[in-house]
Amino acid sequence: MTDSLTLKSCEKKRSISVLSNPSFPYPLVRPNKYTSFNFPYLCDTLTDGGGWIIIQRRSTGNVDFYRTWDEYKNGFGLLDDDFWLGNDKIHAISNSATYELRVNLKYKGKSSYAHYSSFSISDEKSNYVLSLGAYNGSAGDSLSSHKGRQFSTRDRDNDANSKNCAVEFTGAWWYGACYESNLNGKWGADSYKGPTWLALTDSEPTSLTEMKIRRVDNS
């Protein structure tokens, strides 16, 4: 099936196939001779005009996100469930052009979002340093303070705290000392250890998170 309208900037030529889960809203882009990247990914065709590549999704708690450096590097989970696309893949996409970031959140039954005008992460040699543009949205800004931070996991501590923030808060993130957001925290946990966005949730966990990036027009 080909859709050259709704997929927009996910691919210039969009060969897509629907995931086996019929209730899942996003088509799967499989690699072929027309695609820009040699790995499958989900394309959100619905939000704000479509064209978003989803790099993180959590809504069921079926997948453990308290993982190692190599697991975050390569990615884990299921594309029709909860997953992290993989830092190497996120680096490849976000450095191929200028990309924007949208974070969708659900908290106490209400949906909100945070948008950043640009987004990229560096390569593994520099520990996937986070770069971000300007914020707007309804969720509050809980990511700009992480700009310029290196990625940390339970077995690779790159934060600015004497403790390992990934261990302390059961997650993996661009921790400083330690965080204002922690979207890879332990599902269902409270007291700052769950998937939190402090400007919106304070110490309580969200019930849905999606991080998605889209190529900026003319980039």
What digits encode the pLDDT tens for the residues 203-219? 899 999 999 999 997 66
Tens digits of per-residue pLDDT, 63-92?
999 999 999 999 999 999 999 999 999 999
**pTM for the predicted model, two decimal places:** 0.91
Picking from 172, 101, 178, 118, the residue whose alpha carbon sits closest to that of residue 146 is: 178
Tens digits of per-residue pLDDT, 161-186?
999 999 999 999 999 999 999 999 99
Picking from 86, 10, 83, 1, the residue whose alpha carbon sits closest to that of residue 44 is: 10
